[in-house]
Amino acid sequence: MRILKPYYRYFLFFLLILAGCKETEVTPQQSVSLTPEQEQLLLGNPSGATAQESNPNNFLMEKPQFALSYSRQRGTPNWVSWHVSRQWLGSAERQDNFRPDPALPEGWYQVSASAYRGTGFDRGHNTPSADRTNSVESNAATFLMTNMIPQAPNNNQQTWANLEDYTRALVAAGMEVYVVMGSYGQGGTGSNGFAKTIDNGRVTVPARIWKVLVVLPEGENDLQRISRTTRVIAVDTPNEESVRSDWASYRTTVDAIEKATGYDLLSALPEQVQHVLESQVDEQAIP
């Protein structure tokens, strides 16, 4: 016993060190092993988009700031997916440098900054400029034309702007939000009336614009902690000047959007969790 006692003391000390190491191993920030690209697509790739030129209408583009499925035929993204958290928000100024996306495959038509001019439709961001203000570079990425759709001004400046503000208000209140936005159908009504296409037929005007938000308290291991009780907000709006500014009145189910688009949203979540989350309409009161 007398011989063992000091040995035990060392052993205990060793255990304490181990416990200390373990603790520092568990605490680091969530992006431990996620690249920014993985972060933007954490909840899945809704249309199974691939980065192959042979897939021109479901062409995957991954940027550090957002990921998207591009349609060469439509000249717009089908959907754009991104994560909004405090890490992405800062004080960078709005760059306003709308420009063609040089990351499109060679030989593909690049929608230009002036393609929407005089059409009665706004260059509507999918990933909003104000969601990417942690650096000038981040913010500039949102002005690539592959992030734009022809959006009725009232939809863009009122309905959508309100929903975007609400999303960032959630982040300011301690949440983080995974967002997927997309558009489908053909033909919208802007400030000059109805149009099916603009830019000499090279850009399709969508009929509907939707968004799905998954809202989590700020934390780690986001995919693992999304459960049947996680808040999901799904919205589907008409691309028309007569749209109501109150986005909450357009709340719907993820299932309805999946049915309308043929996509599988939140596909990275277990089937049973998707089943529950996708069949509900968000009912929280909006301030």
Distance of CA 267 to the CA centre of its chain: 14
Q: How far is the CB of 40 from Mn ion (least distance, A)?
A: 18
- Given the residues 63, 125, 208, 211, select the one marked as catalytic: 125
Q: Distance between CA atoms of 222 and 38, rounded to whole angstroms?
A: 12
Q: Which residue in 250, 182, 178 sits closest to 214, CA to CA? A: 178
Alpha-helix residue ranges (DSSP H) falling in 142-216: 153-154, 161-172
In the bound state with Mn ion, the residue whose beta carbon lies nearer, of 101 and 258, is 258
- Tell me if 134 sits within 8 A of 88, measured CB to CB: yes
Q: How far is the CB of 263 from Mn ion (least distance, A)?
A: 8
Q: How far is the CB of 277 from Mn ion (least distance, A)?
A: 8
Q: Choose one: 76-84, 182-190, 192-200, 266-274; the region binding Mn ion (CB under 5 A).
A: 266-274
265 is an interface residue for Mn ion by CB under 5 A: yes
In the bound state with Mn ion, the residue whose beta carbon lies nearer, of 62 and 164, is 164
Distances from the Cα of 13 to the Cα of 5, 10, 24, 35, angstroms: 13, 5, 17, 37
Q: Which residues contact 194 (CB under 8 A, 6 or more apart)?
A: 187, 188
Distance of CA 65 to the CA centre of its chain: 9
* Per-position DSSP letters for 43-82, written without gaps between them: T--TT--BS-TT-TTSEEEE-SS-EEEEETTTTEEEEEEE
Hey, which residues does 80 pair with through a beta bridge? 68, 181
Q: How far is the CB of 138 from Mn ion (least distance, A)?
A: 17
Size of the site for Mn ion (CB under 5 A): 7
Q: Choose one: 10-18, 214-222, 229-237, 273-281; the region binding Mn ion (CB under 5 A).
A: 273-281
83 is an interface residue for Mn ion by CB under 5 A: no
Q: Choose one: 118-126, 176-184, 190-198, 199-207; the region binding Mn ion (CB under 5 A).
A: 118-126
In the bound state with Mn ion, the residue whose beta carbon lies nearer, of 264 and 282, is 264
Q: How far is the CB of 107 from Mn ion (least distance, A)?
A: 30
132 is an interface residue for Mn ion by CB under 5 A: no
Hey, which residues does 203 pair with through a beta bridge? 198
274 is an interface residue for Mn ion by CB under 5 A: yes
Q: Which of 64, 264, 268, 276 binds Mn ion (CB under 5 A)?
A: 264
Build a one-symbol-per-residue string for 155-194: x at contacts with Mn ion by CB under 5 A, - elsewhere.
Answer: -x--------------------------------------
83 carries an active-site annotation: no
Q: Which of 125, 132, 208, 211 binds Mn ion (CB under 5 A)?
A: 125
Distances from the Cα of 270 to the Cα of 35, 42, 259, angstroms: 22, 13, 19
Strands 59-62 and 67-71: antiparallel
Hey, which residues does 234 pair with through a beta bridge? 212, 252
In the bound state with Mn ion, the residue whose beta carbon lies nearer, of 22 and 259, is 259
Q: Supply 193's token pair.
A: 């009336």
Q: How far is the CB of 275 from Mn ion (least distance, A)?
A: 9
Active site (catalytic) residues: 125
Report the interface residues with Mn ion, using CB under 5 A.
Answer: 124-125, 156, 264-266, 274
